[in-house]
Chains A and B, each alone.
Chain A
């Protein structure tokens, strides 16, 4: 069969695209978490100007489409800064910065769901505010945030396909390259869709596993019921 030989020939190329997509999503998630958590802490415990600045950042990145952000950073902001970055880095940075805005809200909700009494108790035991945040609040907040956080993964996965617009060689870009080369359209698209759905499913399983790993016994994973 002609179709099968074509698919077999291009399959490795698509699989490389999967790796690029996974790289994009992983770096975006990591950037998002590394920036999002401090931003959440700043928004809850920070001074008023800091809260204002973080609020502005969140408003900006949540209000703009990914496509506009990508164009903005790729064609305007990075060139103005004299940074000649690879499309992959731009894609990962934009998805990461945007993810940080969304993740900060997830973490903020989690931090605010921990009762204030815990902070008061920690202070009365002689802990500094920073120590209380670091050792009392954050370990709980991160675990509470996990179910909400795990929704970030499928969102970023599907958003990562938009990096096609700036030419990152991820799964969708490679798919449309193959389509223009072979003129086989529908089967390749369906294959690509299946790969995305598989990535989605596999990633959710990994996250579910992680959620179970970090759960504290008796401290019900995800359910806020156990926290007074």
Chain B
């Protein structure tokens, strides 16, 4: 009984304030990354489906590289690697490096969902649009993407949830976010409950996001095309 009281005391006085600071960073990371991730994801997808030679190749190479190499390695390259490159030598702080790494990763995976959605829009629609005198760009912007993005919402929200989870990797390049805050408290006090509390916070984040994503999916579904 005493131990429980002690643990609650520990949580209120030490763990929660530390985790609150970490949670702020995690939420910031996710909220800054997500819009850029979606925007670049759409660009990459359009490049991969409609791009001509160079653009197409660059998009493919980028997606292949980012999906093939672990995110942690990408973060190491951005944070430890880039400053050592002669002449270029850009130095990022941990927060910026994490954001850039996450945007790369997020947009590469998003582009897969958007690409699938673009392909699922019938080709006849593009032909019809050009028959109406639209340019290819207009047709993509006003005909294909509005449909494709709606179909991509389940995938994009899935990727958003992944983003919440892999934002923990920022700790590996010294950024103290939620996981990092928990780890620091743990190494200081050796309280075994710490990671369970951290876990509960993540589960809460993910569960709330899932519920929100399902609502969003329902709201933006094209009427008459919902899955039954």
Residues A15-71 near B (CB distance < 8 A): 59-60, 62-68, 71
A110 contacts partner chain B, Cβ-Cβ < 8 Å:
no
**Which of A80, A154, A196 is packed against the most chain B CB atoms within 10 Å?**
A196
Q: Is the CB of A162 within 8 A of B84?
A: no
Shortest CB-to-CB span from B170 to chain A, Å, is: 10
Which residues of A are in contact with B by a Cβ distance under 8 Å? 59-60, 62-68, 71-72, 75-76, 79-80, 154, 157-162, 164-165, 172, 175-176, 179, 185-186, 189-190, 192-193, 196-197, 200-201
Q: Is the CB of B70 within 8 A of A65?
A: no
How many chain-B residues does the 8 Å CB contact rule pick out?
38
Q: Is the CB of A197 within 8 A of B69?
A: yes
B40 contacts partner chain A, Cβ-Cβ < 8 Å:
no
Tell me the complex Cα distance, A164–B168, Å.
14
B172 contacts partner chain A, Cβ-Cβ < 8 Å:
yes
Binds A, one of B116-124, B136-144, B191-199: B191-199
* Cβ contacts B37-70/A at 8 Å (1 or 0 each): 0000000000000000000000000001101111
Tell me the complex Cα distance, A80–B182, Å.
18
- Across the interface, B169 reaches (CB within 8 A) one of A63, A76, A162, A185, namely A162
Which residues of B are in contact with A by a Cβ distance under 8 Å? 64-65, 67-73, 76-77, 80-82, 84-85, 165-169, 171-172, 179, 182-183, 186, 192-196, 198-199, 202-203, 206-207
- Across the interface, B70 reaches (CB within 8 A) one of A71, A72, A79, A172, namely A172
Q: Is the CB of A76 within 8 A of B196?
A: yes
Residues in B with CB closer than 8 Å to A71 are 179, 182-183, 186, 195, 198
Q: Is the CB of A162 within 8 A of B202?
A: no
Q: For residue B165, which residue of chain A has the nearest CB?
A: A65
- Across the interface, A64 reaches (CB within 8 A) one of B70, B71, B165, B169, namely B165
Residues in B with CB closer than 8 Å to A59 are 203, 207
**Which of B73, B76, B183, B198 is packed against the most chain A CB atoms within 10 Å?**
B73
Q: Is the CB of A158 within 8 A of B71?
A: yes
- Across the interface, A161 reaches (CB within 8 A) one of B73, B167, B171, B199, namely B73
Q: Is the CB of A63 within 8 A of B206?
A: yes
Q: Is the CB of A193 within 8 A of B65?
A: yes
Residues in B with CB closer than 8 Å to A193 are 65, 68-69, 73, 77
Residues in B with CB closer than 8 Å to A176 are 76
Tell me the complex Cα distance, A179–B199, Å.
32
Q: Is the CB of A65 within 8 A of B73?
A: no
Given contacts A175-B73, A193-B69, is CB(A68)–CB(B172) below 8 Å?
Answer: no
Q: Is the CB of B77 within 8 A of A63?
A: no
Q: Is the CB of B186 within 8 A of A63?
A: no
Shortest CB-to-CB span from A191 to chain B, Å, is: 11
Q: Is the CB of A158 within 8 A of B69?
A: yes
Residues in B with CB closer than 8 Å to A72 are 195-196, 199
Given contacts A158-B70, A172-B70, A200-B68, is CB(A67)–CB(B203) below 8 Å?
Answer: no
Q: For residue A186, which residue of chain B has the nearest CB?
A: B81
Q: Is the CB of B77 within 8 A of A186?
A: yes
Residues in A with CB closer than 8 Å to B71 are 158, 161
Residues in B with CB closer than 8 Å to A62 are 206
Q: A189-B76, A200-B67, A200-B68 given. 20 additional CB < 8 A pairs?
A: A59-B207, A63-B203, A64-B165, A65-B168, A68-B168, A71-B186, A72-B195, A76-B194, A158-B68, A161-B70, A185-B80, A185-B81, A186-B77, A186-B81, A186-B85, A189-B77, A190-B77, A193-B68, A196-B69, A196-B70
